[in-house]
Structures are given as C-alpha cells and as structure tokens.
Amino acid sequence: MKKKELLKTTGLAILVMLLTTFLSNAQIPIQGLHSDHEGGIGWNADGTGPEQAATGHLHPFGWSNCGYYAASCDYDDIDSDPDAAVAHFLDDIKGFPLFELALATNGFTPGQVKLKMGLFSLKNDLEGEDWFTFNNGHHFNYFDGQYYIELNGESMISGYFSYGFYSYDEAVWNNWQMESGFSEPYDDASNSSIPVQSTVRSRQSESMEN
C-alpha cells in the first residue's frame, strides 16, 4: 500500500448511509468522519504493492482518474489508528428495539459499532457496462467486496457485497451517492467476548422477527 499511485479519498468528508431491512421502515444511520479516522479511499496501483497494477477510467467531467481499487481507510493499515473504519453507527436507530436493548444491556452504545469495507475494484471497467454518463451524472460500479461490522473493536458480523453503485453530479463537487446490493449478514462473533456474542445473538433473533 505504501507504493501506490494516486492514493486519495473518494470524496465525501461525511459519509452517511442507511442500512435497511427488507420490506420495512427499519433503518440504522451511520456516519464516517475523517476527523474520527473514518471514510473510504480509492487508488490506482503500480504493481509494487499487494494488488495488481491497474488504473481506473478517467472521470468524464475532469478530476483525474477513478481509483481502480477502493476500501475503507483501515484497509492494509493505510490508517493504522485502531478505530479506523468507513463509518460508525448513530443513535437514531429505528425498528431494531432488541438490538438497541442488547447494546445497552451489554454496556455498549451505537457509536461503538463500526463498519469496515474490504477491497473493491472496478473489475472490467468498461464504459456502457461498468460505468456510464447520463446528462450531468457519472455512474459507476465497484465490485466484489467484503464488509465487516465490529463492536468495541471485536468481530461481530461480516458479509459480501457483489457491487457498490456510485453516482455524482458534475455540478456538485465532493458529493457522491452510494448504494449497495443486498447482502446476507453472517455471525462473525465466535471468537469475540461474551457481551459481543450476546449482542449478535439478539440481533439475529430480531432479524428473523422482521
């Protein structure tokens, strides 16, 4: 990672996404702040690091290349801070009362839940298939990435996104919208502490109820 070309932030200083349950109004807001060692990064590689050499397509409205690779800032120890991640959960959780109760019962707060993203890439990066422009909008996909949810620094949940779909408007600098495909979460807390395991089990029961 130390010899990559064009290491850069992917744009948003504040990243806000919603995790939603299927066919419900439940949502968990999350936020990633650079000041908290959070956010996403994108880069091209020259082949001297762990990834193959690759360069993304040119942004159609300027701003150099799209980074061929993307991940959260903790990836490969780019940001070595122990709290580095893409984002943390916020307090305004809706539709998950058992999860909120489990957090509180086990002595945790939503802010201690962190989301991390593994390595994504632009894959074939073909115009018209993997990226396109429409009017003033640039739209493109990053593919095949793992995500990890940690509680107080311990493993909690993991899963896989087949794609992340990004869009931005030419006229609005530094405001990229992102939407992922659906993903089934997996219990990743087997080697974590009992309080973390207890919180995960409560969350799984709630998912089945929803």
For residue range 78-95, what is the model confidence (pLDDT) as tens digits? 999 999 999 999 999 998
Q: Where would I find the beta strands (DSSP E) of the chain?
A: 5-9, 14-20, 27-33, 40-44, 69-72, 87-89, 113-117, 120-121, 131-134, 137-151, 154-169, 177-180, 186-187
Is residue 196 domain-resident? no
pLDDT tens figures, 23-39 = 457 889 999 999 999 99
Is residue 198 domain-resident? no
How confident is residue 152, by pLDDT bands cut at 50, 70 and 90?
A: very high
Is residue 173 domain-resident? yes
Number of domains, the chain:
1
Is residue 78 domain-resident? yes
Q: What pLDDT, on a 0 to 100 scale, did the predictor assign at position 67? A: 94
Cβ contact 11:51 at 8 Å: no
Is residue 81 domain-resident? yes
pLDDT exceeds cutoff 80 at 69 = yes
- Angle between helical axes of 194-209 and 97-105 (0-180°, round to 10): 170
> By percentage, how much of the chain surpasses pLDDT 70?
84
Cβ contact 19:28 at 8 Å: yes
Q: What pLDDT, on a 0 to 100 scale, did the predictor assign at position 1? A: 41
How confident is residue 9, by pLDDT bands cut at 50, 70 and 90?
A: very low
- Please list the alpha-helical segments (H only) found in 89-185: 97-105
Give the mean pLDDT of 195-209. 69
Highest averaged pLDDT of the listed ranges 29-33, 107-111, 197-201, 206-210? 107-111
Is residue 42 domain-resident? yes
Cβ contact 72:119 at 8 Å: no
Is residue 79 domain-resident? yes
Give the mean pLDDT of 111-120. 96
Cα angle for residues 95, 120, 38 (degrees, 5° grid) = 60
pLDDT exceeds cutoff 60 at 206 = no
* Exposure string for 169-205, b = 16+ CB within 10 A, e = fewer: eeeeeeebebebeeeebeebbeebeebbbebbebbbe
pLDDT exceeds cutoff 80 at 19 = no
How confident is residue 153, by pLDDT bands cut at 50, 70 and 90?
A: very high
d(CA 139, CA 168): 7
Which of left, alpha, beta for 39 (phi over 0: left; psi -120 to 50: alpha)? left
Can you give the residue range of the structural domain that contains 91? 5-95+109-188
Q: What share of the chain is helix, strand, coil (3-state, %, to 5)?
A: 15, 40, 40
pLDDT exceeds cutoff 90 at 68 = yes
pLDDT exceeds cutoff 90 at 64 = no
Q: What pLDDT, on a 0 to 100 scale, did the predictor assign at position 204? A: 53
Is residue 28 domain-resident? yes
pLDDT tens figures, 97-113 = 989 999 999 999 999 99
To the nearest whole number, what is the mean pLDDT of the chain?
Answer: 85
